[in-house]
Structure 1
Amino acid sequence: MRIFILNGPNLNLLGEREPAVYGHTTLADIEHACRQRAEALGASTDFRQSNAEGDLIDWIHQARRDADALIINAGAYTHTSIAIMDALLALTIPVIEVHLSNIFRRESFRHHSYISQAATGMICGLGAKGYELAIEAAVSAHGTGHSSRGR
């Protein structure tokens, strides 16, 4: 099983940017933990980050061919990108939305997620551990045949 893990804008600054909100764990630390958790479950990961919306959309399109599940932390694009939502809606694989912080305890504009319209499920507020939980959920959803919209 191959899992794409996509990360959006500013996540490359984890560990430096707003540590009171996002913690001190770096994106490289998260990538390492994800690789280990996936391998323990018999899966592999393809871990990517971009600040560009178009890159994320291209990778989602690639996931249609090359992935069995997709985990996405779209960062601020979560709340703004209909284009990313539309790309995710074209998938037939499990999609797990991840956020390090609890978006529902933050500013009101963060309470709406376009990503959720296309996700099998969401994990938020559990910090970096949320990525590992998302891997477990993706493996489980893949095994039960759940698509991105939970069918």
Structure 2
Amino acid sequence: MADLRVRPMTGDEFDAWREETLRAYADEQVAAGVWDAADALETARRQQAALLPDGRGTAGMRFLTATLGDGTPVGVLWLGLTHPRGTRDCAFLYDIEVRPEHRGTGLGRALLAAAEEVARAGGAGALELNVFGGNARAVRLYSSAGYTVVTQQMRKPLR
């Protein structure tokens, strides 16, 4: 596998990532039946603003870009060194993404390991994340990397 390097996002990278991740998160919430499409993007903006009152400079948050050894960007990480629900000694992985053209090459596993190292270096004894049930590829990656289900939300359509 290629040489993976992880570094802090630049301001321009953060701005582009922020807009992209807002749209993707809103779309996932709509697809999961959680939010109405009409106001999903605004809801995502409000939630992210609450989590990131100081944007890229928000205390305890890490925004990282993953590159190959030649500098080619291949993925991103958003990691909180404290858990959003106050779970003690536990960091939270808000976003991990490998660019589509680099998926299936082992970079997701390497990026996940990098997130774990950043959390460990930040003093966390555990790392938690959420994954949508329909994202089978991500579920397999996390399971094979030693993550276990802590809570599970289930739904059955009635119409």
What range is the shorter-chain TM-score in? 0.3 to 0.5
Q: Bigger radius of gyration, 1 or 2?
A: 2
Normalised by the length of structure 2, the TM-score is 0.37
Q: Which one has the bigger helix percentage?
A: 1
TM-score, normalization by structure 1 = 0.38
Which has the larger strand fraction?
2
